[in-house]
Amino acid sequence: MTSQKKTSLLYRIISGKYTVNLNGCSYVIEQPSFIVKEQAQKLYDDIVDKNKFKEWASKRKCLQYLIRTGVWPISGDELLKRLDENVDDLKVKLFQVGFLEKEYKQVKRQLRTLNKRINSLYQTRHSLDYLTLDGFASTLRQQFIFLETIYCDGHKCFKNFSEVANKELEILCDYLSNYIIDLVQLRELARDDMWRSYWNISNGLVFDKSILKLTDEQKQLIVFSKMYERTYEHPECPSDEVIEDDDMFDGWTILMKRKNEDEKKQHKADAIASKHPGAHELFIPAKSKQDIRTINALNDPQARGIKKQRALLIKQKGKIKQEDLLDQKMKIQRQSNRQFIDHVKQNKGK
C-alpha cells in the first residue's frame, strides 16, 4: 500500500467509520457497536426459532447434492484439510530457503497456486449454504447490521427492518464489500511506522475504551500489533525482512510452534520412559480415539516410520514373528556389526 492509503485506512479504523459515494449520494458507514451486534444475533436466533420446522435444506443434504452431481468429491473435506497443511509446509519451506531468489520465487508461486485452489474449493463447498436456514438467517443478520450502521445527512438511511428488501440497500451492501479491509492490509498497518508510534506511545492503549466498545477492525489491528510486539521480544526474533513478508513470517511462526510442541511431546515421552528404565518399546493402552492421537504424537518421526512399516508388513502377511520385522532385522545386524568390530579390535590389541 502507498503511505497515503495506509494513513487513510488508519484514520478510518481509529474513527470507527468511513464515507463512500455511490450514484451521487454520500454515505457514512459506522462500525457496528456491541449493542447492534447483540440485536442482530437476537434477530438471527428468532428467525431460526420461527423457521426451524419448515422445510429447509440441511447442510448434510446440500453436501450430498454437491457430491451426487459431481461438483464436490466425497473426500473433499479431507482434501481441504490436507491442502491447508500443505500451505503451512510451504510457508515453513519459504522461511527456510530465505531470500535465495530462485527458490523463493518457486515457493511463492506454489503458495499462490495452492491458495487459489483452496479458495475455489471453499467457495464450491459452501455454494449452497444460502439454501439452509443458517444461511438465510445469517444473511438477514448481516443486512440488519448494515441497516443500523448506514447514515446519510446525519440520519439512518433505512428506518426499520421491514425495508431490508429495499433494492437500494442490496446494491449498497454489494458495493460496500469492496471497502472491506482484509487481513493482509491489517497486518501491513500493524507494522506501519505511524501506527507503531501511536501504539508505543500509548503503551498499547490507543483507543482508550472497553474492549466491548472496540470495532472489529480495531480489535483485529490490536491482535496483530500484539503479535508483532511478542515477536520482537522473542529470543529467536526473525529479521525485519522476514517480518515484513507475511508468508515467511507465518513460516517462522509455524516452525516455532512445531518446535514448542515437539519439546512438550518429548518431555511427556521422557516422563513416561523414566518409569520404565531400560525398556526399548512401551505399549500404552488407549481408551478413546483422542487417546490414540495423543499416544501416537509421543512417537518421533523414526518411531512413526517403524510403526507404519510394521503395519504394512502385518497387513501383507497377516502374522509375523518379531525377529522377522525389518526394523528388528536391522537392529540385529547392527548388533552383529558392533560385535564383529569389537572382536577385530580385541585381536589387534593382542
For the chain, the average pLDDT equals 86
pLDDT at residue 196 greater than cutoff 90? yes
Q: Could you tell me the three cell numbers for 196?
A: 507503531
Residue 91: exposed, middle, or buried by beta-carbon count in 10 A (0-12, 13-18, 19+)? buried
Give one word for 19, left, alpha or beta, with left for phi > 0 and alpha for psi -120 to 50: beta
Residues 11-45: tens digit of each pLDDT:
999 999 999 988 888 999 999 988 999 999 999 99
* Rg of the Cα atoms in the chain: 29
Residue 308 exposed, middle or buried by CB count within 10 Å (0-12, 13-18, 19+)? exposed
* Cα–Cα distance measured from residue 272 to residue 260, given in angstroms and rounded to the nearest whole number: 19
Q: Is the pLDDT of residue 68 over 50?
A: yes
Residue 342: DSSP 8-state: H
Kindly report, residue by residue over 107-125, the tens digit of the pLDDT: 999 999 999 999 999 999 9
Q: Cβ of 285: how many Cβ atoms within 10 Å?
A: 6
Look at residue 163 in the predicted model and tell me its pLDDT: 45
